[in-house]
Chains A and B, each alone.
Chain A
Amino acid sequence: MCPLYSRVVILVGLQLMLFHATQLSAADPRQSSYQLMSTENKAMQDDPSLNPATFAILDGQSAWQEKLGSSNQACASCHGDAAKSMQGVATRYPQLVDGKLTNLEGRINQCRVEKQKVKLLPYESKELLSLLAYISVQSKGMPIQIMATPATQPYLEAGKRHFNQRIGQLNLSCRQCHEERAGEKLAGIPIPQAHPTAYPIYRLEWQSVGSLQRRLRNCMIGVRAEPYAYGSKELTELELFLMMRANGMPLEAPGVRP
């Protein structure tokens, strides 16, 4: 068995125990969409030897060690062992970096451009997603911890406006389905509360790993709205709002979703 892989298994195993330990109290009405999945799909998420996103983690692990650019730096050159240095990181994004609201993809790219002196990776590229998966899994089981500060307040409010705003030909807002009608059925399937606890996910619908922004654009297309561009201010603000709304819920990355 590949030693790199067995490390992932141990890491995931430990964090899975942590995941169960940080379950929400009985009074908390919030629920991860993990709970709505079939037994088979839950098992697919929980077991790294069954989870298709494991390959993305292994790709990310390789990418972490890859020396790039004129300075010949790898992520590992500065950040060392990701299991230590990246622990908790995914629970704290999006956040303000140099005064700009940045999600984890944006932060990875910033490091690539400024520190490694290489080109940024396009959104939803295999390379960016594998780094995202590898970094996110280091926080598996940890509670989401978005800090609300006076500086982030305007972005949070903007995100909340996007959440409540009716959009598209179907003229629906996120809120109407995912707040007001969560748990009810849409096309025979229960509507989730839409907490971004598991990203990046291997979505069976996509047959690949994808980010939260992809899923949000997916929803916008679903209500026949012109989706916001990847990395746009609007999507990042919405990400911030959704993560804040899920504060305290344990991170499940990388998740499996139908």
Chain B
Amino acid sequence: MSKTSRTLITMPKTASKGEIIEIKAIVQHDMETGFRHTEQGKLIPRDIIRVFTCQYNGAEVFKADFFPAVGANPLLIFTVIATTSGTLQFSWAGDDGYLATNQSQITVT
């Protein structure tokens, strides 16, 4: 697996103050479990994303620890309260120095 890959964030661009918004975060990653074998019987080593974090204007609001049982191209749908305008920062870190980041702006009125 390469050191980074595509990510996709789906969330509203605007919200009213106090509104609970839904965020969909999906990342392109095989999530090799470490339990599969090649046809020759050789074990394919584990290579997964281990941590996902979401920061809202620098403060961590959501985090998830991934284990090998998380499916390929991991999807997370979670919520956040829209408080102030600013940036939501997303990051995925994993085995073999894997790191992917994405961000989304939100305007809160």
Residues of A within 8 A of B (CB): 1-2, 5, 49-50, 52, 54-55, 58-59, 207-208
Contact = CB atoms under 8 A, between A and B. Distances in A.
Nearest to B31: A207
Interface stretch (B4-12, B55-63, B90-98): B4-12
A58 B5 CA distance: 12
Interface in B70-104: 72-73, 75, 104
A49 B6 contact: no
Contacts, number: 30
Given A52-B72, A55-B73, A207-B72, A1 B28 contact: no
9 contacts: A1-B9, A49-B8, A49-B10, A52-B26, A52-B72, A55-B28, A58-B6, A59-B6, A207-B30
Interface residues of B, number: 14
Contact of B104 (A1, A50, A52, A54): A1
A58 B26 CA distance: 13
A55 B6 contact: yes
Given A1-B104, A49-B24, A54 B30 contact: no
Interface of B: 5-6, 8-10, 13, 24, 26, 28, 30, 72-73, 75, 104
B26 A49 contact: yes
Given A1-B13, A1-B104, A55-B28, A50 B75 contact: yes
Nearest to B6: A55
Contacts of B10: 1, 49
A50 B10 CA distance: 10
A2 B10 CA distance: 10
A1 B12 CA distance: 9
A100 to B, nearest CB: 33
A206 to B, nearest CB: 10
A50 B73 CA distance: 10
B102 to A, nearest CB: 9
B65 to A, nearest CB: 21
Nearest to B5: A55
A208 B31 CA distance: 12
A54 B5 CA distance: 13
B8 A54 contact: yes
B58 to A, nearest CB: 21
Most buried by B among A49, A58, A59: A49
A49 B73 CA distance: 11
